[in-house]
Structures are given as structure tokens and as C-alpha cells.
Amino acid sequence: MKARIFATATVLSAFATSLPAVDSQLLSLMMPDAKVLAGVNVAQAKSSPFGQYVLSQISANDPGLQELITLTGFDPRQDLTEVLVASNGAAGSHTGLAAATGNFNVGTIVNLATTKGGVQENVGTTVILEDPGQTHGVAFLSSSLVVAGDLADVKAAIARANSSPANSSPALPSDVVKQVNALSSSEDAWGLSTVPLTNLAMLASNNAPLPMGNLQNSLGSVQSASGGVKFTGTVNITVQAQTDTAQNATALAGVAQFLANMAQLNAAKNPQAVAALQSLTATANGTTVTVTLSVPEDQFQQLIQPQASMNHPHRPMKK
């Protein structure tokens, strides 16, 4: 479940442009022990050239999307406003939450889901749609607010929403809230991990052993990390990592720069990637490593077009 939540966040992150601080209503739904969070303001895509490009890759002729729009009236390209996802970041855990604001035709969506085998449960005035095994659910707190994830976390979010007034203080620790507000105010799409990156690598690999080598050793020194993307005619990517020692910070910056330099040697295989990596810088300051990358939006579009064409083989690549 966690992998699906963060995969969704990754896709939606391309839809953002200028992001104000995260919606306090969404933040108040997150579990108190959340260690990994990511967010994006989907509505800002309407004023972003790059966001418009990404939206254009989601074809209205896609049968699955068109069926969703026809049956429910819900078009994620238009009806989503903001998305926030969170996890406790524990290795082996399958919990997590995704919350979103937007325009949801609750009655139509519920009727469709139940005819497809979904289970409806009411908690007070809140409707939860659950999978047949009743392990995960989607809860409609209103026609403009939805939360999804494993059922226990969804019900806990409902309880937090019902027990607190609107715009109440989040249940998250104050230092995490401070970091989230800083990131969401300065970046268009952002992510934050307050747990070691090895935890996240284990999650991504379904708890399989990590490969040995300098990269693993360097990642093992990272105690927390944050990053964001901002679109201003240029795709600006910034990642910061806190390591356990200054020596390991210097080593990690060296590994990141080395990998970028090695990739540039393969110019014939992927010239777009090589051109993008030419602007990458990795520096260490004490125990903090900062990696930055700045790529013109049109060049970034060329970089992701091969993948887009594979997803839509009937659509020719733009020139």
C-alpha cells in the first residue's frame, strides 16, 4: 500500500508550479508518528507550462480514464486540488495515508464502487469505501476532502477530523510541521524523510538486501533528507541530506558527483540525460549535503518523452 501511495505522489508531483504552505486541513489528518511526507498542489498545474505538458500526456482517449470520468464525473486532471501523503517510514510496515482536496461526487463514486465489489461502511456521517478484504479504505470526509490508506489509519484520521475544529493544530511534532511548511512554501513539489534513507531503500525493494558498495555505505550515513522541485521556466531540483558525520557528508557528495560524471560518459546512449546532469552540483557543509540540478523545461520534457511514448505508443513524440 505504501509503495502505491508514494508512486501516486511521484506522478502528481509533476503537476505543481507555485505552492503555498500545505493546507492545514490536510496536515491535521496525518498520523502523529509520520516520518515520511510528500505533497503537491495539483491546482497550480493550470498555470504551469510544464504542468500543462504533463497533463497533455494523460490522454482523454485513455479507456480507463474516460470510463472513470463517464461513470463518476470525476476527472483527476481537473478535480484534484492538493495531495498530501505520509508514512511512519518503518521497515516492513504497510501503513500510510494519502489525503486530497478537490471536487468529489461522493454518491456516484460510492454507488459505482459498491457495484464493483467494494464494501461501504459509515462512521458517523463519514462514508468509507473498503476493499473486499476490508484492509484498506477511502473515506469521504466531505465532497471536497478525501483520505485513503490502510483501514486503521483511515479511521484514526476520521477520528482526528471529528474531534478537532477546522484549522486545528496538526498532531505531528512541531519540528516536522515547521519543515513541512518551509518546504511546501518554497517548493512546488516536495518530500521529507526524518528516518534514515536505508529504511526507505528497504521499503522500495520489499525489504530485500541492499547492494553492497560505496553508494550503500554513503546512503547508510544519511539520517534524514528533504527535497523539492520548482518550475520557473527551469526545472530546479534541490535535495538536502543530513549525515551522521562531516566525513560521511564529504564522501556522499563525492559519490553523487562521481555518479553524475560517470553518466556523462555515456553521451551517445542518452544525450538528454547527459545535458541535464551537466548542471548537477553536490557539496558538503559540515554534516549537510546539498545536491542541486537545474534543467530548462523544454530540455526536461525531451528527457521524459521516451518514457511517455512508451506509455502511449499510439502517440508520436513531439518535435
Query: What are the pLDDT digits (tens) for 167-222?
Result: 455 678 899 999 999 998 888 889 999 988 776 655 454 544 444 455 566 778 89
Rg (CA), the chain: 21
- What is the pTM assigned to this prediction? 0.78
pLDDT at 76 over 60: yes
pLDDT (0 to 100) of residue 194: 92
Residue 176's Cβ-side half-sphere holds a number of Cα atoms within 13 Å equal to 25
Q: Which of 21, 13, 74 is nearest to 48 (CA)?
A: 13
Query: What are the pLDDT digits (tens) for 89-126?
Result: 776 566 789 999 999 989 889 988 898 889 999 998 89
Query: In the predicted model, what is the mean pLDDT of the chain?
Result: 78
Q: Which of 157, 3, 146 is nearest to 80 (CA)?
A: 146
Least confident of 44-58, 173-187, 245-259, 268-282: 44-58
pLDDT (0 to 100) of residue 140: 94
Contacts of 6 (CB under 8 A, 6+ apart): 36, 38, 85, 87, 96
pLDDT at 316 over 90: no
Q: Which of 2, 34, 36 is nearest to 156 (CA)?
A: 34
